[in-house]
Amino acid sequence: MLRRVLPVVSAFALLTACSVTTSDAPPPGERVVTLVTHDSFAISPELLEEFKADTGITIKPLASGSAGELTNKLVLTKDAPIGDAVFGVDSTFASRALKEDVFAEYASPEARQGAQRYELDPPNRLHAVDVGDVCLNIDVAALRDIGEPKQLADLADPKYRDMLVVEDPATSSPGLAFLLNTIAVFGEQNWQNYWGQLKANGVKVVSGWEEAYTQDFSGSSGKGSRPIVVSYASSPSAEIGDDGTPRTKALPDTCYRQVEYAGVLNGAKNPDDAGKVVDFLLGEQVQADVPGQMYVYPSREGVTLPEAWTKAAPLPAGSRSLPAAEVDANRERWVQQWRTLVQG
């Protein structure tokens, strides 16, 4: 799920440089768990070092593209797994991985501290690590005179012409989440009509989040021309001005919930230690670390969010979602219909 802000990239690079064993085969006797991840995975290097000191286990991250690319790779290699554990299969792709029997059964003792709220299947093959709601974000100052949209339907109003930038659902995780959100709101019969209205009202489509947010959105450092963007509920926490006031705002009635999961791979060479890595991802220290490293909300209950999040980016209470099985059954068809309609 490529998404967040520039510090994630540097954190991942630092993690890779400082804490990863790069050779294909570990030294004799060394305990190594290969953790297959999406490209935005990041944990503070000192936590990895503490985990190694406590358990003797070295975590070797293996970045494997976006959430969709990661899932496809896991399915294609399920008979010869490329790792031991996985982080980053999200709720829009999880049903496919479960149907293909990619994951082994494993009941983490940490899962009952909050992750169970997002449980997908009774055998506990996947454990929720974080939540990242996709929402409309607005440039507050730019919309002060005309008023901000409240619901998705408001974006078709001519007063918001040429103001919205979204990501392509075929190439972007937040873009796909936004498409699914429109289907959840308007239904199978009407979502295409809604997108036709957005197209007529000048919606701009770009390939991914970074381009949309940092280049086209007027509320970010890129100072683009469009004051409405598809981003994350957490994004305003990075846009607090010198006066302590957020320059941007996520609209809570426009959000779609994404959950990212971890699990032990079927056929893993080191399943016992892989389970310990899943426990680690659900533990208090990592859960407190994920907001600052990956700009997502922890799944664990009782974790204190950074002060900026409390002020500018509380977790939305009423985010929508579609059942994972429904998404899996229809995703490719919906994306193709969207392409035909919006891109011709």
User: Distance between CA 79 and CA 76 in Å, rounded?
Assistant: 8
pLDDT at 25: 55
pTM: 0.83
Where in the chain are all domains bearing CATH 3.40.190.10? 6-132+257-311, 134-256+314-343
pLDDT of residue 13: 34
Helix/strand/coil for 195: helix
DSSP 23: S
DSSP codes of every residue in 130-186: EE--EEEEEETTTTTTT----SGGGGGSGGGTT-EEEE-TTT-HHHHHHHHHHHHHH
Pick the CATH number of 6-132+257-311 from 3.90.950.20, 3.40.190.10, 3.40.1390.20, 3.10.20.30: 3.40.190.10
Q: For 134-256+314-343, which CATH superfamily applies?
A: Periplasmic binding protein-like II (3.40.190.10)
Instruction: State residue 3's pLDDT score.
Output: 44
> pLDDT tens digits, the chain, 344 residues: what are they?
434 433 333 333 333 333 333 345 556 668 999 999 998 899 999 999 999 999 999 999 999 988 888 999 999 999 999 999 999 998 888 888 999 999 999 999 999 999 999 998 888 899 999 999 999 999 999 999 999 999 999 999 999 999 999 999 988 889 999 999 999 999 999 999 999 999 999 999 999 888 999 999 999 877 899 999 999 999 999 898 888 889 999 999 999 999 999 999 999 999 999 999 999 999 999 999 999 999 899 999 999 998 889 889 999 988 999 988 899 899 999 999 999 999 98
Task: Identify each DSSP E strand in the chain by its residue range.
Answer: 31-37, 57-63, 85-90, 127-131, 134-139, 164-167, 204-206, 228-232, 248-250, 259-264, 297-298
Q: Mapping DSSP to helix (H, G, I), strand (E, B) and coil, where does residue 94 land?
A: helix
Both structure tokens of 161: 């012409």
The dihedral through the CA atoms of 238, 116, 99, 102 has a sign that is positive
Between CA 196 and CA 191 the distance in angstroms is 9
The DSSP code for 103 is B
pLDDT of the residue at 258: 92
pLDDT at site 276: 98
Dist CA 75 CA 159 (whole Å): 45
Q: Distance between CA atoms of 152 and 138, rounded to whole angstroms?
A: 13
In the chain, the amino acid numbered 236 is: P
DSSP annotation of 228 reads E
φ and ψ of 87, to 5 deg? -130, 135
